[in-house]
Chain A
Amino acid sequence: MADFFLQALGQVSSPSVLALIIIGVLFGIIGGSIPGFTVTMAILVVFPFTFAMDPVSGVSLMVGVFVGGYSGGIVSGVMLGIPGTPSSITTVYDGYPMAQKGEPGRALGIGVAASFIGTLISVAVLVFFGPLIASFSMNFRPWEITALIVFALTLVAGLSNGALLKGLLAAALGLLITTVGYDRNSNLRFDFGIPALGSGFEILPVMIGIFAFSQLMGNLEKLRDDQGKAKGVDTNVTIPYGRIAKDMAGQKLNTLRSALIGSLVGALPGTGGTVANFISYDQAKKFSRQPETFGTGTPSGIVASEASNSAVAGGAFVPTLALGIPGDLPMAIMMGVLILHGITPGPLMFEQNPILVGAIYASLLIGAVIMVLCQLLLVRWFAKISLIPQEVLVPVVLMLCAIGSYALNNNLFDIWVLFVFGVIGYLLWKAEVPLTPLILGVVLGNNLERQLFRALELDDSWMTFLTRPLSALFLALAVASVIFSLYQDRKIQRNRQQAQVNDA
């Protein structure tokens, strides 16, 4: 692997790929720093620009966006008190109060340093565990893979905050979308009378439509709520390097713990930066000798939040590369991107595309260094850019989504696919149906059907899924995740009723 890594490092270090990583990181930070834009949206918007690139260049650019995006949320969190991405919510708890006390540069500097170390630790986790899990999963047969996908989908659906039924419904809908068009035996299943649907839906316009439209339309519903806050923000920030070095020296354990939490949470399907953010912040508070300072502008809070959400980047690559199962929504989109570049993530990727795996490691490392330099040198500009109003953002992003959908196959029909799934996504979002299980269903649907088919072809008894130990284990975990989320749903319901009684 070391040879391949050095080879990949050589490719990634070429001036053209380095320039792409810099552009990706810059765009990611900008995307992450604009409230309501998110890392996922940044990835979707940049994707069409990779069509004409070779896989290493394209993936390096996307990884750059990924690294920049996870660290970008800190800018608007500290300056405006509005998290740029959901994964930087807890950054606001201490970053904004610190900025309000006249130390925005210190808050940003601590956050950036924690992000950097978090990313490095997560890359180490990825380098160590990625190949290990991949070599273990090489033994998986169709029964195990089918059961693992079912487990991932139920886990993601169950984590949909008090909405198990809706989560499962979304996953089923996502899987169903992949059955449109001709099947493996050239039988036309569904085309709704539209010949262009014979080849099925392209993943990209479906994903962009479902995610981007719901996000942007949601932003429009609260338009003007945040803009009053944006007025009169002082974007002149100076970074006190000495003070930050001293702050970080006292945060070694907190940084390590938070980065490990972020890596672990990132590796679990369906969790992502937001969950990592809250768990890490909560743990830092519990371990702190001064828990009462949390929420008032303490460096520990910023470190816990930023080290964990940035560590998600490396952690989330573990199941995606090793098992072919994405850890969270941005990674589901990233996996779609890899598939569209002709690369199938999964255990075989380590054997068939070792240079590309090495390029991902190298891009993460180089991206982290570039992220720190960009954030520290250009923070003032990022703060200004984060004030871009929705009236500019919405049409520009929608237009870029249309380009992305069209340019994939130079097919205007895909713009209509984007629009229809945009409306569906918006309706689902309005109905509070979680979109992550749906997108995961779309990404994993074809593989699930293929593996189920293979399993039944090898042995037509459905019982084999229960007699093979690993397959049975995954299915048991799937059932357990459903039972656990049912219990969680009831608990949330009870708490709501209790709150209503108390209010009355």
Chain B
Amino acid sequence: MSGTSSDSRPQGREPVPHGERAKAVGHIVFNLALLGIAVMMFVHAGGLPSSAWEPIGSGSFPRLMLALLALLSVLMIIKEAAKLRHTSALPSGSVGDWVWRHRLAFGVLGLFTLYAIAMPLVGFRWATLPFVLACQVLLGARRPRQLAIAAAIALFMSVGLDALFRHVFTISLPRGALL
């Protein structure tokens, strides 16, 4: 099982072009999003009721945290924006390269989304079996022997664990609304 036959390019080792600028842009976008969320929540928390006989109202603690979060986000944006001046513009296709480098992670996250959707519908066993199998195929199990091992692992992890939780730990995993 240790050998993978994936035709994917090795990840993580190739030099990222204009890495510093990409990082700075990423940080700015991330902190702007965080700042936006913090401001919206801060306004919402301002409308929460305060008690006449209590020292701090419902919104006081969250507002304290949100103000701190907003302040830190602004500081981060200022810090990262200063870096933009020292780096050159990103070449075209950078975003595509970035997405390509993260395709396995995005693929697994996509499969997990399907898994979470399928679980209430078809139950733990029949959602887990294809999820574990599909993930292994996505991540490199392609040869017949690897596929056979992947199928055995998927079967054990779905049917086997379901039985273990049900009969040994007396915890019932989802059965599925459609079954």
A-side residues, CB < 8 A to B, are 48-49, 51-52, 165-166, 168-169, 172-173, 175-176, 179, 183, 185, 187, 189-190, 216-217, 220-225, 227, 230-231, 387-392, 394-396, 398-399, 402-403, 406-407, 410, 412, 415-416, 419, 422-423, 426-427, 430-432, 449, 452-453, 456-457, 460
Residue picked from B54, B58, B65, most chain A C-beta under 10 Å: B65
Do the beta carbons of B54 and A457 come within 8 Å of each other? yes
Q: How far is the CA of A116 from the CA of B132 in the complex (A)?
A: 37
Do the beta carbons of A49 and B169 come within 8 Å of each other? yes
Q: Does B36 contact A (CB under 8 A)?
A: no
Chain B residues within 8 Å of A388, by CB: 1
Could you tell me which residues of chain B, from 99 to 143, have a CB within 8 Å of some CB in chain A?
101-102, 104-105, 108-109, 112-113, 115-116, 119-120, 124, 128, 131-132, 135-136, 139-141
Nearest residue (CB) in B for A224 is: B10
Q: Does B90 contact A (CB under 8 A)?
A: no
On whether A431 and B26 interact (CB within 8 A), knowing A165-B76, A392-B153, the answer reads yes
Other contacts beyond A169-B72, A395-B136, A431-B30: 8, CB < 8 A: A52-B169, A179-B61, A187-B49, A220-B105, A391-B1, A395-B131, A398-B112, A419-B116
Do the beta carbons of B105 and A217 come within 8 Å of each other? yes
Do the beta carbons of A457 and B139 come within 8 Å of each other? no
Contact with B131, one of A52, A223, A399 (Cβ below 8 angstroms): A399
Q: How far is the CA of A175 from the CA of B150 in the complex (A)?
A: 41
Contact with B139, one of A48, A223, A452 (Cβ below 8 angstroms): A223
Question: How far is the CB of A498 from the nearest CB of chain B, in Å?
Answer: 16
Do the beta carbons of B58 and A431 come within 8 Å of each other? no
Do the beta carbons of A407 and B69 come within 8 Å of each other? no
Contact with B136, one of A217, A392, A427, A457 (Cβ below 8 angstroms): A392
Q: Does B48 contact A (CB under 8 A)?
A: yes
Q: A interface, by DSSP: helix, strand, loop or mixed?
A: helix
- Between A and B, 14 residue pairs with Cβ closer than 8 Å are A52-B169, A165-B76, A179-B61, A185-B58, A189-B45, A190-B41, A217-B109, A230-B2, A390-B139, A391-B136, A398-B108, A403-B124, A431-B27, A452-B61
Chain A residues within 8 Å of B119, by CB: 402, 406, 412, 415
Q: How far is the CA of A231 from the CA of B66 in the complex (A)?
A: 50
Do the beta carbons of B58 and A389 come within 8 Å of each other? no
Do the beta carbons of B58 and A187 come within 8 Å of each other? yes
Scoring B residues 161 to 175 as 1 if CB is less than 8 Å from chain A, else 0, what string do you get? Answer: 100010001111110
Chain B residues within 8 Å of A412, by CB: 119-120, 174
Do the beta carbons of A172 and B12 come within 8 Å of each other? no
Q: Does B4 contact A (CB under 8 A)?
A: yes
Question: How far is the CB of A145 from the nearest CB of chain B, in Å?
Answer: 15
Do the beta carbons of B30 and A427 come within 8 Å of each other? yes
On whether A419 and B112 interact (CB within 8 A), knowing A220-B105, A403-B161, the answer reads yes
Do the beta carbons of A392 and B1 come within 8 Å of each other? yes
Do the beta carbons of B169 and A227 come within 8 Å of each other? no
Question: How far is the CB of A423 from the nearest CB of chain B, in Å?
Answer: 7
